[in-house]
Structures are given as structure tokens and as C-alpha cells.
Amino acid sequence: MAILRDALQPLSGEEIGRQLQVSRVAVWKHIDQLKKSGVEIESTARGYRLVTMPDTPFPWLFGARAPLIHYHPELDSTMNRAKEMARAGCPPYTVVIADRQTQGRGRMQRVWQSEEGGLYFSIVLRPSVIPKEGPLVNFAVALDLVLALEQCCGIAAQVKWPNDVLVDERKIAGILSQMEFEADQITFINIGIGLNLNNRPEVTDKPAVSAMQLTGKRVNRAELLSTFLDYFEKRMTAFSRQAVIEAWKARTVTLGRRVTIATVRDTYEGLAVDVDEDGGLILEMADGARRTVFYGDCFHS
């Protein structure tokens, strides 16, 4: 696939076999399998030509990042696999991707629809941040999803506290994070992301939308993921708590709104006036008092 991608003209099976040190028959068999899997390859009298770049996020599409990309047609959950790999010592920025998840989940143990066409992946991080800064990594992820959607799709998305990405009040992406500690040090943070791209989400409790529904065009999932990773690695390399908070506040639709925050045990209602240095949402209550909430589902009035 990489050879076909980089070729300026059709390549014969003999030439591909020479480069890969396999027989021409072996090349033909692999080409046939690729065609059956949906990759558009043209067979001409001069040889094989890759017609369009595949949408599937195969590792070879990511250049030097390829060893960190682990693609699966189906998994129970990318978060489950990422946790196994993190505990086994995988390097930071390892990415686990699945076309479909049989047990995809969102926050508060909700089911995350994972039909084909969406982009479902988890990233293993080993950041040099203190535990209380962990939630701000979610802010960073949301910001860079917004930038990637803007660059690749021309979509103007915004962030919602604590970790959603919306377009016109409809959810286009959700973020889930898990941390593990050793003493007072973070051993890893896994970030799970569900991004509605070429699917048609049907969510009953919250309005949702996909990039294809917004633009009428299919999105190259591999290209969008690569763009996101470029933005995100750059931001995390120069991680600044204040810079992340200020950028998030400039992109959010939550501040200045009356909101309801529902946790497992309590419900809070108030005006969202600010976020604190740890990403907690500051509410102004009906009696004028202020309360900081650090987790929960946020509903805009």
C-alpha cells in the first residue's frame, strides 16, 4: 500500500514483488484481498494504481508514527485494550483504533454507539503533570478535536464542559479518561474518543450529529486522526495549565449559560460563570453563593 501510494505511475506486480522480495503471485493475492476489503486499486496493462487513499486508519498511513498505531476492525472497547497495553509498558502516544466497538462506553458508564463510519480510538499518555491537572488533559483533547474538525472539514465546533465537542448544540465528539497512579505520580492517562464522522448517530438523550451530515461529504478518518495527533502532541509537549484553560474558555459554549449538573448523588443548578485552575466549573447559585463542581453531566438550559 505504501509503495502504491508513493508511486507516480502504475507499478507492475513484478516491480512490487521485487521491492517486497515476494513473488508476483503473492502480490496479486494481496492486491485481490485489498480490493475485497474496499481499497480502490485499478489494474491496468501497465500495472496497479491506487485510485484513492483509503479511509481506514491503517498504521502505514501515519508515517513515522506507524509503530504507535494499532488498528482493529472490531474490539470490545479501545479503552480496554489501551489499558492492557499501558499496564504492559507501551510507549506514550500509543493509539488503539477500532472500526466498531461491541462494548463502547461513554461517561457515567453509558453505552457509546460505535457503528461503522465513526472514529473510535484511545490514546495512552504518560504526561509530566500532577494528578490534579489530569482533567485539563481532557480540555486539551477537546480543543485539538475542534482544530482538526476545522482544518479537515471546515466545521466550526465548540467545547462543552466537562468533555464534549458540539456543533450547534449537537454532540459530534465525546471524551472519556482513565488515570492510574503509583504513589502520587500518574503512571498513565488513557483518553478514549468517539468522533462522529461518516456515521449517522441516533442518540435519544442528547442531540448528536456527524461531520458527513453537516457537510454532505465523507471525511478521511485517517487524515483527521493524523491532524488531531499533530495538534495534540504539540500542545502536550509544551503543556501549560493557564494556556489550556484560556484557550478552552475562548471556545466554550458553557460559560454564561444557566446549567444543570447531575452527578450520581446530587444535582446542582446555577449560572456557569467560570472554570478554576483545575478545570472545575464555577456556578453562581440562586442565592448568590458560588460552588465549584468537578464532575457530572452538564445540561444547558
Looking at the fold, whether 70 and 137 belong to one and the same domain comes out as: yes
Q: What is the pLDDT of residue 61?
A: 84
Same domain, 262 and 233: no
> Residue 107: its pLDDT value, please?
53
Regarding whether 45 and 66 lie in a shared domain, the answer is no
Q: What is the CATH number of the domain that holds 171?
A: 3.30.930.10
Work out the average pLDDT over 62-85: 94
pLDDT at 256 over 80: yes
pLDDT of the residue at 56: 87
pLDDT band at 298 (very low <50, low <70, confident <90, very high): very high
State residue 141's pLDDT score. Answer: 97
Residue 191: how many other CB atoms lie within 10 Å: 23
Hey, what's the torsion of the CAs at 135, 81, 298, 169, to 10 degrees?
Answer: 110
Cell numbers of 288, please?
A: 448568590
**Does 88 share its domain with 184?**
yes
Mean pLDDT across 258-267: 92
Average pLDDT over residues 130-146: 91
Residues 169 and 273 in one domain: no
Which pLDDT belongs to residue 111? Answer: 55
Q: What is the pLDDT of residues 22-67, one digit of tens each?
A: 999 999 999 998 888 778 899 999 999 999 877 889 898 898 999 9
Answer yes or no: are the C-beta atoms of 159 and 139 closer than 8 Å.
yes
The DSSP bridge partners found for residue 300 are 259
The residue whose grid cell reads 479511509 is 55
pLDDT band per the 50, 70, 90 thresholds, residue 282: very high
Same domain for 194 and 84? yes
Residue 203: what pLDDT?
Answer: 61
- In the chain, what percentage of residues exceed pLDDT 90? 75
CATH of the domain at 41: 1.10.10.10
Q: Are residues 80 and 45 in the same domain?
A: no
Residue count (the chain)? 301
Helical (H) or strand (E) element with 122: strand 119-125
Does 130 share its domain with 82? yes
Q: Is the pLDDT of residue 131 over 90?
A: no
How far apart are alpha carbons 251 and 166 in whole angstroms? 11
At which of 30, 50, 70 does a domain end?
A: 50
Are 32 and 160 within one domain? Answer: no
Q: What is the DSSP letter of 208?
A: B
pLDDT (mean) for 212-222: 95
CB 210 within 8 A of CB 196: yes
Whether residue 94 is found in the same domain as residue 119: yes
pLDDT at 186: 87
Q: Evaluate whether 300 touches 169 at the Cβ level (below 8 Å).
A: yes
In this prediction, residues 247-253 reach a mean pLDDT of 97
Domain with 263 in it: what CATH number?
Answer: 2.30.30.100
First to last CA, the chain: 50
Our CA angle for 185, 191, 196, nearest 5°, is 170
Q: What is the pLDDT of residue 283?
A: 97
Which pLDDT band holds residue 205 (cuts at 50, 70, 90)? low
- The pLDDT mean for the chain works out to 91
Contact assessment for residue 95 and residue 128, using Cβ atoms and an 8 Å cutoff? no
The mean per-residue pLDDT over the stretch 274-287 comes to 95
Q: Express each pLDDT in 93-126 by its tens digit.
A: 999 999 998 876 555 455 556 688 999 999 999 9
Cell 457530572 belongs to residue = 296
**Torsion angle defined by CA atoms of residues 17, 23, 28 and 34, in that order, rounded to the nearest 10 degrees:** -70
- 207 and 274 share one domain: no
- As for how many domains the chain has, the answer is 3
User: 272 and 245: one domain?
Assistant: no
pTM summary value: 0.85
Residue numbers of the domain that contains 276: 258-300
Q: How far is CA 281 from the centre of its chain?
A: 23
pLDDT digits 0-9 by tens, 156-203: 999 999 999 999 999 999 999 999 988 778 899 999 999 999 998 876
pLDDT band at 287 (very low <50, low <70, confident <90, very high): very high
The predicted-structure confidence for 81-101, as pLDDT tens digits, reads as follows 999 999 999 999 999 999 998
The model's confidence at residue 70, banded by pLDDT at 50, 70 and 90, is very high
